[in-house]
Chain A
Amino acid sequence: MFSEFCHSFYYSSLIVAAYTCLLLFYKADAPFRWLALLVIVTLASESIAKYLAFKTGNNSIVYHIFTPIEYFFYANIFSRFLKNKSWNVFLIASVVVLVILEFLNTKYLQPLNEDNTNIMIFENILLIFLSLMLFVNIRTLHESDNILQEGVFWFNSMALIYYTFNFLIWGFHGLKVYQFLNPPMVIYNINLLLGALLYLVYILAIILNVLHKRKPLPVHE
């Protein structure tokens, strides 16, 4: 029952988020447009995953493809927030590394019919790191009388919480899989709730960006 609620809540949130993103896409700033695109792409990938799960009973292939795409979108978002040449180099390099690792992981460790938790964990580490760095950047360079009205703050806070928890989940999931045990659903349900919250907060971030458009962060070379 709780599991069904979590699933419904997650997909409903994602649909609402994607619809809002479509509406606000042209009004938002560049990083938030990438965020909107990410939400829409996520909805698409989740729909395909759901369809494959229903049809074949295994949708792992979707995540093998979606994880590098998702990170590519995040890299674009962070590069527009961080606005620094060194960070751009790091982000491009990290995308390349993630794609290579995904390929190697698929070939040698987790084939297409298994979840690519190794890459998800790696992606989560990168996103946590980037999120923390963006906090430092906001603290140092951002000028706002009320940080709670800044879309970047909400985006970054939710990304930090969600991907930290995701990191634990996939670690735990990996552990259980290696022991050939069915993982306890409560953890995944919490993750679904957090996922739903993530997309709702992303909408909030985009709406705040549209409402309180401000000049971009100063560039520092």
Chain B
Amino acid sequence: MNNLTSSDVIIFVWAGLLIILLLIGFIIFFVISYRHKQDDYNLLQEQKQKIDAQKVTLENTLTDLKDAQAQLIQSEKMASLGELTAGIAHEIQNPLNFVNNFSDVNQELAEELKTELRKPIAERDVHFEESILNDIKANEAKINQHGKRADAIVKSMLQHSRKNTGVKELTDINALCDEYFRLSYHGLRAKDKSFNAALETSFDESIGKIKVIPQEIGRVILNLLTNAFYACTERLAQSRAEVSRIAINDKNKIGDENYMPTVKIATKKLGNKIEIRVEDNGNGIPLAVQNKIFQPFFTTKPAGQGTGLGLSLSYDIIKAHGGELNLQTKEGIGTTFIIILPA
């Protein structure tokens, strides 16, 4: 290697200074790039803060919505209880009438027996006394039977209004359906005395008892039945209005004077599942709203008459039971809701 000259040293010094300048350039570039990054970061932080604030607002809104939902569910429950009240009153009135009538009869029979017992022994008719006693006994049995019936109705009402425990218990689905079928019908009758409907039941006794939360399934059945009766009432009202407007012999119109509201409830065993069908011959559900009826707050009833939560809650309840809630409907013919529950 040759010796380095002074010009080589100068080149070296200049090269060194150049490298220092390059490094300073690098550092300046770093500062600029860092500032850009920091600006982006600050912008991101600002957006994050905004998003966080929105998140808090949304969370608060969600909490409010949940509270409102809970209140609405309670309202819906109370509304269904209200619908039941008239039916319950009617249902209790019947056994009470029986109890009153039979106790009156028993009083008369007791008087007759007293009169008979006051007679001299020779004149007394032992067979007649026995017959009176038998009648009294039979009447007492009836009083007891109707008393129990009233007791069952009150218990059923209490069960419906009771806070849901969420515990599944073996439940006689047929009895549950029958109970709510009558209660909902009489409830409607109590509101509109002129309303009459044919009630049809078809219970499959082989389904036995299945594990469900009775309050919840009761609520679903009551809701479907209330809707069924409502649909029939609507169609009946339309028919009456039409009849008053069109010629009586125009049989093709909906305003058919022969229209008889009919609601049918049926149960059926399907292997390891059971089916509950609630059928009405109301107006049916228009195609346009069929996919909306299970949405919360959707209702076709006039304002103030429905919360729009009935079918939505029913759907949720049946889903929570691992079942299905299906719909079959035809405009002008009627609607059938089919509940399928695991047995």
Contact = CB atoms under 8 A, between A and B. Distances in A.
A176 interface: yes
Interface stretch (A45-53, A56-64, A97-105, A159-167): A159-167
A161 B24 contact: yes
A145 B41 CA distance: 10
Nearest to B27: A157
Contact of B20 (A135, A144, A164, A172): A164
Given A179-B4, A187-B9, A168 B16 contact: yes
Interface string B1-45: 101101001001101110110011011001101110110011000
Given A161-B20, A165-B20, A172-B12, A148 B31 contact: yes
Nearest to B19: A164
Contacts of A179: 1, 3-4
Interface residues of B, number: 25
B34 A139 contact: yes
Contacts of A184: 6, 9
Contacts of B26: 160
A153 to B, nearest CB: 8
A190 B17 CA distance: 9
Nearest to A135: B30
Nearest to A154: B27
B37 to A, nearest CB: 7
Contacts of B9: 184, 186-187
Contacts of B38: 143-145, 147
B30 A139 contact: yes
A26 B35 CA distance: 31
A145 B42 contact: yes
A24 interface: no
Nearest to A143: B41
A124 to B, nearest CB: 13
Interface residues of A, number: 27
Given A147-B35, A147-B38, A187-B9, A176 B24 contact: no
B114 to A, nearest CB: 100
A139 B27 CA distance: 12
B38 to A, nearest CB: 6
Interface string B293-324: 00000000000000000000000000000000
Contact of A190 (B4, B13, B30): B13
A138 interface: yes
Contacts of A148: 31
B9, B34, B38: most-surrounded residue (chain A CB, <10 A): B34
A1 interface: no
Interface in A161-183: 161, 164-165, 168-169, 172, 175-176, 179, 181
B17 to A, nearest CB: 8
Given A161-B23, A181-B4, A139 B33 contact: yes
Interface in B164-192: none
A147 B34 contact: yes
A181 B16 contact: no
A112 to B, nearest CB: 27
Contact of A187 (B13, B19, B33): B13
13 contacts: A138-B34, A139-B37, A143-B38, A147-B31, A148-B31, A153-B31, A160-B23, A161-B27, A164-B19, A168-B19, A181-B3, A184-B6, A187-B13
Interface of A: 135, 138-139, 142-145, 147-148, 153, 157, 160-161, 164-165, 168-169, 172, 175-176, 179, 181, 184, 186-187, 190, 194
Interface of B: 1, 3-4, 6, 9, 12-13, 15-17, 19-20, 23-24, 26-27, 30-31, 33-35, 37-38, 41-42
Top 4 A-B pairs, shortest CB-CB distance: A184-B9, A157-B27, A147-B34, A161-B23
Given A160-B27, A164-B20, A187-B13, 10 more contacts: A135-B30, A139-B34, A144-B38, A145-B38, A157-B27, A161-B20, A161-B23, A161-B24, A165-B19, A187-B12
